[in-house]
Amino acid sequence: MREAAQSARVEEFLPRWRELPIYHARLENNFSRLPLIGKRELRENFPNNFLRADQNLDALLESKSVELEHTSGSSEERTAVLFGRGWWNDQEARVLRLNKFVAQILDAHPHARRATLVPPVCNGLVCFSNYTSKLARTVGSTLFVNQARIPFLLTEAEFARMVEEILEWSPVFLDLDPVHGAWFALYCERNGIKFPSVKFILCSYEFVSVVHRKILSRVFGVPVFNLYGSTETGHLLMENESGEMKASHNDVYYEIIAPDERGIGDLVVTTLTNEIMPLVRYRIGDLVERVEQPYASHYFVHGRARDALLRGDGWRVTTLEVDRCFSDVRGIAHYQLRQNENGDCDLQFIPDREVPSAKELNQVTVQIEGLLQLKNKIAVSAVKKLPPLTSGKFRLTCRA
């Protein structure tokens, strides 16, 4: 019933969307037959591909009626995105309330402060490539703490500065990139540091591994939730108090395109509330699985499509499927599984506070070898750091 209601709602938007230059030649009366678009289409002739004839970007920015942001550029070159003023925060406020625990905390703290640790090149609002004062990194109720793209290179003095700022800020929750957050948590654990004001942790910006969750939960002792979305689409899925990823149907129309036999396919979304730059049948680039239940539906985010590996018989294996193999292993703070052209795999990992035992490493590699139907054993090595992409994001799985 919800799908039918949403389809009818989307059809109502078609005449309005057809006024935008990007959709003049694309929009038909049958929504399901509309072509998919991606970042390339968003970049072509921007901003004139979205602005109506009577609109001018400079005038809109000067009037402060819109916000101009850019995507991180993790898979393609950075893409400009337009929002109505306040749209991002309003949409986030709605999707966070899909989690009853978070909703109760935010209702009790209407102006809840947050401390954010994400790669500084693309936090969506501000970018810090050099040292910037705390005042300059404070935007409303948000303090942007991190100023380094590679967390493994941070000095003890820089960690201490971050801790001091968070303690002084006294945030209600932490908003973390999982890799940056886990590495910061290990520093806090070594030094016995706690944040009494923090009630929960949001993980966003990139795929949340089970190894990152373990560290964050262990060190900070508060619930850790996954908030999934993208700069261009806004917030799409929120993990609820039961661990299910729930959709924000009032803001987004969701489609799973070309699903495999397990129901895992490409996520395509249509945004319903960004009036200035609506995205119609926009391909995110992520693999997602929808689980239908009698009372509701929820989703599993499987990771980037380009990061999927290949099984011996050519079957696709996603980042999530690989990551599940690490559920019972201890001693890993971060990892990358790289598949070579011949199908063999190398596993590099950064140790947690204690290096995993040979038995635990064998356990996880045997699982992955079975999952991928590998003929040869996985080559495993412990390293001190793993490089991110230029955007600051890390790839847990990748092909050479």
Q: Tokens 């319903």 label which residue?
A: 272
Answer yes or no: are the C-beta atoms of 322 and 291 closer than 8 Å: no
> How far apart, in whole angstroms, are the C-alpha atoms of residue 284 and residue 229?
9
> How far apart, in whole angstroms, are the C-alpha atoms of residue 49 and residue 19?
11
Name, in order, each residue with C-beta under 8 angstroms of 186's C-beta and a sequence gap of 6 or more. 215, 219, 333, 352, 353
Question: Quick one: which of 141, 144, 99, 101 has its CA closest to 120?
Answer: 144
The pLDDT tens digits along the chain (400 residues) read 566 667 778 888 888 888 899 998 777 777 878 899 999 999 999 999 999 888 999 999 999 999 998 887 665 578 899 999 999 999 999 999 999 999 999 999 999 999 999 887 543 444 555 567 888 889 899 999 988 889 999 999 999 999 999 999 999 999 999 999 999 999 999 999 999 999 999 999 999 999 999 999 999 999 999 999 998 999 999 999 999 999 999 899 999 999 999 999 999 999 999 999 999 999 999 999 999 887 789 999 999 999 999 999 999 999 999 999 999 999 999 999 999 999 999 999 999 998 999 999 999 999 999 999 999 999 999 999 999 988 789 999 999 8
> How far apart, in whole angstroms, are the C-alpha atoms of residue 51 and residue 271?
17
CATH 1.20.210.10 for the 308-399 domain, yes or no = no
Farthest-apart Cα atoms in the chain, separation: 67
> How far apart, in whole angstroms, are the C-alpha atoms of residue 106 and residue 42?
34
Question: Quick one: which of 56, 226, 204, 10 has its CA closest to 117?
Answer: 204
| pLDDT score recorded for residue 130 | 55
- Three-state SS letters, the chain: CHHHHHHHHHHHHHHHHCCCHHHCCCCCCCHHHCCCECHHHHHCCCCCCCCCCCCCHHHHHHCCCEEEEECCCCCCCCCEEEEECCHHHHHHHHHHCCCHHHHHHHHHCCCCCEEEECCCCCCCCCCCCCCCCCCCCEECCEEECCCCCCHHHCCHHHHHHHHHHHHHHCCCEEEECHHHHHHHHHHHHHCCCCCCCCCEEEECCCCCCHHHHHHHHHHHCCCEEEEEEECCCEEEEEECCCCCEEECCCCEEEEEECCCCCCEEEEEEEECCCCCCCCCCEEEEEEEEEEECCCCEEEEEEEEHHHCEECCCCCEECHHHHHHHHCCCCCEEEEEEEECCCCCEEEEEEECCCCCCHHHHHHHHHHHHHHHCCCCCCEEEECCCCCCCCCCCCCCEEEC
- CATH number, span 1-304: 3.40.50.12780
| pLDDT score recorded for residue 278 | 94
Question: Quick one: which of 265, 273, 215, 223 has its CA closest to 94?
Answer: 273
Long-range contact pairs involving 284-291 (C-beta distance under 8 Å, separation at least 24)? 284/230, 284/233, 284/236, 285/38, 285/75, 287/318, 288/256, 288/264, 289/256, 289/259, 289/262, 289/263, 289/264, 289/265, 290/254, 290/256, 290/263, 291/263
Domain ranges of the chain: 1-304, 308-399
* Peptide linkage before 171 cis (omega within 30 of 0): no
> How far apart, in whole angstroms, are the C-alpha atoms of residue 4 and residue 288?
21
> How far apart, in whole angstroms, are the C-alpha atoms of residue 224 and residue 325?
20
| pLDDT score recorded for residue 123 | 39
Tokens of 304: 């980037």
Domain 1-304 matches domain 308-399 at the CATH topology level = no
Q: Which pTM value belongs to this model?
A: 0.93
